Structure 1
């Protein structure tokens, strides 16, 4: 039936032709395909704690399977490598502290050599010069005691001891019937150790009868 032109549409439910508007449903499930039309990049963010993530991993991987065993082996090897690196760094740090003054003490050795050389030529001196020699000898002793406090010690190199290539450096050979073969016949330059480490070998003449 045609709508009377004098009638006013109730709440806007009729159009000019007298047809009823269909109001969209407010409640109820969303039309099919509405979820599919959502942007592809938008996904729900999942936030897990470290403990929850660990538990999830244990649930996903069986402790008895090969994948779990391989992952556990990799983890243990990484821990072992980390401990080895830590120990090596600590060892290198301690060694660096121990031998920190090595280069300085090595530069001071020529001074000690010159004092030894001066004292080695003191024969047939006048009384005045002998007093000077006494002063040089006292200076040498004070200097030697000072560097000994830093861990420096002389290498054993005296006439008659057996030649040791680890602490002696042969600079020549001599023939001395009074000594056995491969014995130190003369010390040319004293050698020194620093806290057990060879700082400079003793230069010696070796007997070769």
Structure 2
């Protein structure tokens, strides 16, 4: 009877010790606050969760990075195109500016003597009138030879500088170079032609200095 009680007590004590051992074994594995199992300071499942989060973040940031790189490339190409266009436009403007300067210089050199030649027109007119009306007098015949020679030399000199006389009898009337002051019947001339020249006109290069005053055949 006493042995039975001792065995029972021993078994109970052993059971208690065995339960104690199980409790001690269970103490090594606990659950952390974030839901992961922790045993001896090691969190199970934590590494896998971090890797999954990192992969998800990379999946989200990859398209954004590609979009940013694409936008930057588009902006760079647009800037290059604008710079190229600006450079070509500046080159064209500079070329036009040089051409305009060259043209203005040529015109200035061509018409530099315009004022001087314009001042000589009355002298040519007087010489022309002397030849026209002096030829009717026999007394002025010898003098007219010198006037004719002077008139010829002066015309040759001004023609070297681009001055050309306008207005000849019998030519077709041109309102661009002729100024009609009246009508005159000349049977030997065609209609709408210059019947008589009252005052010669002059042209310097392509520029009209003075139209010729003429009578027109009706």
TM range (shorter): 0.5 to 0.7
Q: What residue number does 1:140 align with? A: 151
Is residue 2:157 matched to residue 1:183? no
Q: What residue number does 2:103 align with? A: 91
Counterparts in 2 of 1:105 and 1:162: CA distance versus 1, 3 Å:
same
Secondary structure, in 3 states, of the residue corresponding to 1:199? strand
Question: Is the contact made by 1:174 and 1:207 (CA closer than 8 Å) also made in structure 2?
Answer: yes
Question: Is the contact made by 2:135 and 2:144 (CA closer than 8 Å) also made in structure 1?
Answer: no
Counterparts in 2 of 1:99 and 1:123: CA distance versus 1, 3 Å:
closer
Question: Is the contact made by 2:135 and 2:141 (CA closer than 8 Å) also made in structure 1?
Answer: no
Secondary structure, in 3 states, of the residue corresponding to 1:86? helix
Question: Is the contact made by 1:160 and 1:185 (CA closer than 8 Å) also made in structure 2?
Answer: yes
- Structure with larger RCO (C-alpha < 8 A, sep 6+): 1
Is residue 2:163 matched to residue 1:125? no
- Stretches of structure 2 that go unaligned for 5 or more consecutive residues are 1-71
Structure 2 length-normalised TM: 0.60
Deviation (angstroms), 1:192: 1.9
- Higher helix share goes to which structure? 2
Structure 1 length-normalised TM: 0.63
Is residue 2:213 matched to residue 1:203? yes
Structure number with bigger Rg: 2
Alignment: residue pair count: 147
Could you tell me how far apart the structure 2 residues matched to 1:94 and 1:124 are? 45
Question: Is the contact made by 1:159 and 1:187 (CA closer than 8 Å) also made in structure 2?
Answer: yes
Counterparts in 2 of 1:62 and 1:86: CA distance versus 1, 3 Å:
farther
